[in-house]
Amino acid sequence: MTDKRDAPKAAPTGNADYEWSTFDSEYYFQHYYGEPHPDDDRVIHCAVRALRDAPPRDAALDIVDVGTGPNLIPFFSALPRARRLTAWEYAESNVAWLKRELESDEMRPQWRHFWAETRAAYGAEAGLPENPIPALREKADVVQGSIFDLPERRWDAATMFFCAESITERQDEFEAACAAYARCVKPGGMLAAAFLTRSGGYVIADRPFPVLSLNAEIIESVFARHAKVVGVERIGIVEREIRSGYSGFVFLTGLAQ
């Protein structure tokens, strides 16, 4: 009998091993954002704080969100500072989903909640509208593209919410994704990114998708190779899962080098 402990471990799967065209965007949205979580609100406040202070503070910015997925929170957080907004998203299903969300003036209850958090984070003096969708429609572009193909030094600031660690099980691909993200911003521009910790993978509509399991120290070390780190916040890191697939976040802000 062969001892299972002696069996070779399966090689980590890479980004190209998954059928991203089958990604069920609505299932993902309902599973992860159907019931807003306090940690989501914390991420919004972290992102707003970073973008509110993004240099130059007296100018509107061209801002990209990388790997947006079925999620308007990055756009909400960036809208008050943005001259133009770009969602850089790979999955065709997510691109179509985002475009549909922006075509409707009616906000889902979840978006009303997250936009209220955004308005609170910016403060009443920002004079933000009750419904951001019309402004988003005017400023936003949804572009299909891989994180590995991001143009260099294109944008003034960039956000990334749970992308680089959620597209592969390979450390080298995670690091390449972080490097591509950091390089897409002009030197001195703001980078604001949230990463999952100790993720065990996730299943969307019965299809598994990859996640690289990381701790806060590894995330901070990799990010620091590509940006001047100016802020680190650990959010909800616990010994149990918060939702299926992860047990906390790390929110990092830095300046592109």
Rounded Cα–Cα distance for residues 76 and 86 (Å): 12
Q: What does DSSP say about strands 249-256 and 227-235: parallel, antiparallel, or unpaired?
A: antiparallel
Residue 241's pLDDT is what? 43
Binned at pLDDT 50, 70 and 90, residue 239 comes out as: very low
Integer Rg of the chain from CA: 18
Residue 17's pLDDT is what? 83
The string of pLDDT tens digits covering residues 210-230 is 889 898 899 999 999 999 999
Q: What is the mean pLDDT of the chain?
A: 90
Structure tokens at 144: 């299909």
Which fold would CATH assign to domain 19-232? Answer: Rossmann fold (3.40.50)
Residue 86's pLDDT is what? 98
SS3 state of residue 78: helix
Rounded Cα–Cα distance for residues 78 and 139 (Å): 11
pTM of the model: 0.91
